[in-house]
Structure 1
Amino acid sequence: MARESTFHPSRAAQPTTDSSGAQVDWQDLSRRLHGALLRPGNPGFEDARKLFNPLHDDHVPAAVVQCESALDVSNAVLVAANRVPLAARSGGHSYPGYSAPHGGLVVDMRRMSAVSVQAEGTVTVGAGATLRDLYSALGQANRCVPAGSCFTVGVAGVTLGGGIGVLQRKFGLTCDHLLTAEIVTADGRRLTASAARTPDLFWGLRGGGGGNFGIVTEFTFSTDPAPALTVFVVGFPAGKVTEVLSAWQPWIASAPRELWANLNIAGGDPPGCRVAGCFVGPSSACGPLLDDLVSRCGVLPARRTLQDRDFFNAMRFFAGRPDRESFVASSRVLSAPASDPAAVTTLLTGRAGLALILDPLGGAVADVDVQQTAFPHRKAFATAQVYATATAASEVETAQSVAEVVAGLAALGIGGGYINYIDPALPEWPESYYGPNLGRLRSIAHDYDPDKVFDFAQGLRRV
């Protein structure tokens, strides 16, 4: 059993050299942990190191710490600080694979995944919890928190990047419900970040992105009563993207905040599209809104589904498959509706396997000022995710296609980017992700991580 003591580097045993040449005393760290320390060749290491995207299977860390407590996280940070690259891993959905630094230390949070709904309506969430863990516990308690859709995504990453999702127009972003965050900083301290205690740090944790200020070990959120929901899909025939996009934009902009509906444009020759979404209320009230969309489009849908569901089953409707998936992705942000829908259609023409997913903002998201939290896109019309399936053989070609669409959107005046869809190839990424909040975020990162312990290719200590 590991000792309940705080590790300090000056008291460490003489370090050994790992295969990457870094000076780390893995044996000493292992003795201090409640959880397991896995090294290459150890049973379970191969499974523990892999992320959601198989294209990152070539990221081989020097070790994985399977943390069971905040003390484990603190010891891992202190022993590895400035010796090897260091990154936290929860859901493992980092698009570029930043949560598995090659030759570094993965601080695996997945054993810290408890979710507890309190009687007064708050919920505490371990940083290793997935959205499925969160939604399951909330559903049983008849409460809700707005968050993302994919069930295998980690709550931590969603929250720290802001947290867009299907209930955001009614209830706001995930980070808008954050009350406190337990965090281990670069010097190994365990802090409780809140608006009262650490206003700058708490501000940065609400949209400043994961991996920049420390490793969050637990979140506390406010919740709302779980509403009755309607989920729906309206699929349109291929070749009608311009008409649907032209109608969808003013329709969703004028819709009540109870309605969220995204537009998924599938590349092809010709491209196709569908509108899918969630309505806070019964299907009897949602149906007329969909009738209005169809009328505006002037296109008869190829299919239409409309279902009343409770909170958990509505979230499960959007969950997707849990299997690992190879993909390349990026993002842009529409500050206003696209002025040339036909040009957007052209960008997707002939690009089978690539999708442009437009998720509307507005409503409760825009109720919060741009600089009230670190999330900068409060007044934008929608986020745009460019997502393409790939294989190891097609990765380079697929990445080029994604980059061409991203550049094409920029040429149409669609700039910016969403930090949770982080992309190393995105031009001017610091300004794109953080906008007017970049300067304050850079200052906070310097204050809490002056020695760049949590440094990575697109970290705030790089700007």
Structure 2
Amino acid sequence: MNHHPNEDALAGPIIPPMAMSRRNFLGVGTTLLGGLWAERVFPETADQATLPPKAWRDLALRLQGRLLRPGQPGFSSLALPNNLRYASILPEAIAICASTGDIAQCLRWCADHGIPLVARGGGHSYAGYSCTSGLMINLSAINRVSYDKASGRVTVGGGALNGALYSALQAVGRSVTHGRCPTVGAGGFLLGGGIGFDMRANGVGSDKVVSTEIVLADGSLVTASATQNPDLFWACRGGAGGNFGINTAFTLDTFAIDRVAVFSLQWSAVSDDFIATLFQTLEAAPRGLGSRVGLAPGLDAASGARGIDVTLLGQFNGSVDELRDILQPVFLMATPTHQIIDRMHYWTGQSYIVDPEGASHYQERSRFVNGGFPEAAIPVIRAWLRRWNLAEGSGLIKFFQTGGAVNDPSADASAFVHRSSQWLAAIGIQWQGDQSAAEQQWMHRWQDGFYREITPLAGGGAFQNFVDPSLENWETAYYGTNLPRLRKIKARVDPTNLFHFPQSIPPAQA
């Protein structure tokens, strides 16, 4: 194994790993992610610093909704991102848009005054890209969710949160591929692909989008579907948020639901053979099984030696007995230290495995694993987890099971290019807000070294919804062979690059 060049810098006294909270131990995807230091993301601009108050008053008069300035009630809570690493990035104003017309007014005003802008849905951009030092366009009032029984389709507003979508679908006994965090914005989730336990059976979230409404840079509202603006429709299914306009509505096909077997299992101090068997068993499972494997630093209770603790979380579209039969090779290897397997109504099960956690400080780095899980990754994982030596904070690697229906479309069927993987690997770190700078730096060195060794073994690109601002060659990592087409579409619908941020898709040059 190639060792990290700064391995000596990572060395330190062996400290027992922290007692894992539910978030830390299960490796929740939405709470262990992040990006660059906040002050390096959105610098102040000269235009913004000299903009007179009258200009902001003029914008307020144009809106049906409200314009909040710093110090006004509600401003601080609306400005706060999910990743507290970027909490210091504050907008000059927040426009709570009541309509698509309000959004158009904001876009024209920003273009006229040279003010940076960002649209905010759930505020879960892992790299703080839903923060800005200019105008934050808050979509929370554009949140209607409606279901059409005749077509079996649901339409969700661009500012609706996942939780509102869950509630609407639960009421009609339907579902879509969705994540576990109810406070994530449905729009951002869908625009970047959208992963969840249903994806092996039904595809990623964006695969079910049949149309979307979007306000373009010139303020026009257009519909994108297979028959209207088909190139833009293609781009909005995996091209990620904030690139082509502000999406104000999505219409999706839904699927019928039934009872599911929900499972949460844990093992301590596992062997390499156990890890290999676990991944082989899950890869052989039918499409109706969706899972997420977490591998975290642990201790052997008997010897006190460092080891690997494993968590397995997910759902299966079948009976408990069928699920136990599928997992039998794993159970024969080791008995779980914690085991919950129960069959229940689909939405009751989602409530059980939901991620209710709030804001925190985190960063995540991801890679799709093309083909099956590489056994050569096991000693790499073991070596890096053994190096974790902090009593506070957490570091681990998670594997979200892909394959199945995720890989049915071709790589160019939509902008979501990742169609040949069996897993999505993500190395996450989380820290306390008052943790020392030295310990935070150590965490980042640990994460970067781990990531460098895992990347060539994974073989795939990076997940655009787990945005990673420290990622080299991010354009091809996120979009692969679809990047040239995305750049051409960007140049056509946003020729002045009004929608831009450090990792926005650059328009093609004429």
TM-score clears 0.5: yes
2:214 alignment partner in structure 1: 183
Segments of structure 2 that go 5 or more residues without pairing to the other structure are: 1-45, 299-305
Alignment of 1:364 onto 2:405: yes
Q: Which has the higher contact order (CA 8 A, sep 6+)?
A: 2
How far the C-alpha of 1:138 sits from its partner, in A, is 0.3
- The amino acid of 1:421's aligned partner reads F
1:435 alignment partner in structure 2: 480
1:55 alignment partner in structure 2: 85
Task: Note the alpha carbon deviations across 1:274-317, whole angstroms, 9 max, x for none.
Answer: 1111101232322211223323xx12221211111222222222
How far the C-alpha of 1:415 sits from its partner, in A, is 4.5
1:379 alignment partner in structure 2: 420
CA distance in 2, matches of 1:420, 1:378: 15
CA distance in 1, matches of 2:51, 2:409: 45
How far the C-alpha of 1:226 sits from its partner, in A, is 1.8
Distance 1:303 1:104, change over 3 A: same
398-407 vs 366-375, which moves further: 398-407
1:20 alignment partner in structure 2: 49
1:338 alignment partner in structure 2: 374
How far the C-alpha of 1:414 sits from its partner, in A, is 4.0
Q: State whether residues 277 and 329 of structure 2, in contact with CA within 8 Å, keep that contact through their aligned partners in structure 1.
A: no
Segments of structure 1 that go 5 or more residues without pairing to the other structure are: 1-16
TM-score for the superposition, normalised by structure 1: 0.91
How far the C-alpha of 1:455 sits from its partner, in A, is 0.7
Q: Specify the SS of the correspondent of 2:387.
A: coil
CA distance in 1, matches of 2:402, 2:144: 30
Selected match of 1:131 from 162, 169, 186: 162
Q: State whether residues 281 and 327 of structure 2, in contact with CA within 8 Å, keep that contact through their aligned partners in structure 1.
A: no
Q: State whether residues 84 and 361 of structure 2, in contact with CA within 8 Å, keep that contact through their aligned partners in structure 1.
A: yes
Q: State whether residues 421 and 460 of structure 2, in contact with CA within 8 Å, keep that contact through their aligned partners in structure 1.
A: no
Q: State whether residues 48 and 115 of structure 2, in contact with CA within 8 Å, keep that contact through their aligned partners in structure 1.
A: no
CA distance in 2, matches of 1:373, 1:58: 36
Alignment of 1:399 onto 2:444: yes
2:184 alignment partner in structure 1: 153
How far the C-alpha of 1:457 sits from its partner, in A, is 0.1
Q: State whether residues 67 and 95 of structure 2, in contact with CA within 8 Å, keep that contact through their aligned partners in structure 1.
A: yes
1:10 alignment partner in structure 2: none
2:463 alignment partner in structure 1: 418
1:64-79 map, 5 Å: 64-79=94-109
1:219 alignment partner in structure 2: 250
CA distance in 2, matches of 1:37, 1:204: 31
Q: State whether residues 230 and 307 of structure 1, in contact with CA within 8 Å, keep that contact through their aligned partners in structure 2.
A: yes
- The amino acid of 1:361's aligned partner reads T
4+ runs of 1 displaced by more than 6 Å? Answer: none
CA distance in 1, matches of 2:248, 2:188: 12
CA distance in 2, matches of 1:96, 1:460: 15
1:33-432 map, 5 Å: 33-81=63-111, 83-101=114-132, 103-120=133-150, 121-237=152-268, 239-240=269-270, 242-268=272-298, 269-295=306-332, 298-336=333-371, 337-340=373-376, 341-351=378-388, 353-392=394-433, 393=436, 394-432=439-477
Task: Note the alpha carbon deviations across 1:17-50, whole angstroms, 9 max, x for none.
Answer: 9752357822121112121111112222111111
How far the C-alpha of 1:243 sits from its partner, in A, is 2.9
Distance 1:22 1:293, change over 3 A: farther
How far the C-alpha of 1:114 sits from its partner, in A, is 1.7
Q: State whether residues 409 and 415 of structure 1, in contact with CA within 8 Å, keep that contact through their aligned partners in structure 2.
A: no
19-28 vs 133-142, which moves further: 19-28
Distance 1:244 1:74, change over 3 A: farther
CA distance in 2, matches of 1:126, 1:241: 47
CA distance in 2, matches of 1:182, 1:244: 48
Q: State whether residues 66 and 111 of structure 1, in contact with CA within 8 Å, keep that contact through their aligned partners in structure 2.
A: yes
Identity of aligned residues (%): 32
Query: Superposition RMSD on alpha carbons, in Å?
Result: 1.8
How far the C-alpha of 1:130 sits from its partner, in A, is 1.4
Q: State whether residues 270 and 350 of structure 1, in contact with CA within 8 Å, keep that contact through their aligned partners in structure 2.
A: no
CA distance in 2, matches of 1:225, 1:415: 32
Q: State whether residues 328 and 402 of structure 1, in contact with CA within 8 Å, keep that contact through their aligned partners in structure 2.
A: no
Q: Specify the SS of the correspondent of 2:194.
A: coil
CA distance in 1, matches of 2:473, 2:138: 30
TM-score for the superposition, normalised by structure 2: 0.83
How far the C-alpha of 1:413 sits from its partner, in A, is 4.9
Distance 1:401 1:85, change over 3 A: farther
CA distance in 2, matches of 1:244, 1:158: 33
- The amino acid of 2:155's aligned partner reads T
Distance 1:243 1:150, change over 3 A: farther
CA distance in 1, matches of 2:48, 2:215: 27
2:10 alignment partner in structure 1: none
Distance 1:403 1:159, change over 3 A: same
CA distance in 2, matches of 1:71, 1:243: 59
Q: How many residues align?
A: 443
- The amino acid of 2:289's aligned partner reads L
How far the C-alpha of 1:227 sits from its partner, in A, is 2.3
CA distance in 2, matches of 1:177, 1:286: 27
CA distance in 1, matches of 2:103, 2:217: 11
1:458 alignment partner in structure 2: 503
Q: State whether residues 212 and 460 of structure 1, in contact with CA within 8 Å, keep that contact through their aligned partners in structure 2.
A: yes
- The amino acid of 2:384's aligned partner reads L
CA distance in 2, matches of 1:220, 1:285: 34
CA distance in 1, matches of 2:270, 2:292: 16
CA distance in 2, matches of 1:223, 1:84: 39
CA distance in 2, matches of 1:244, 1:29: 61
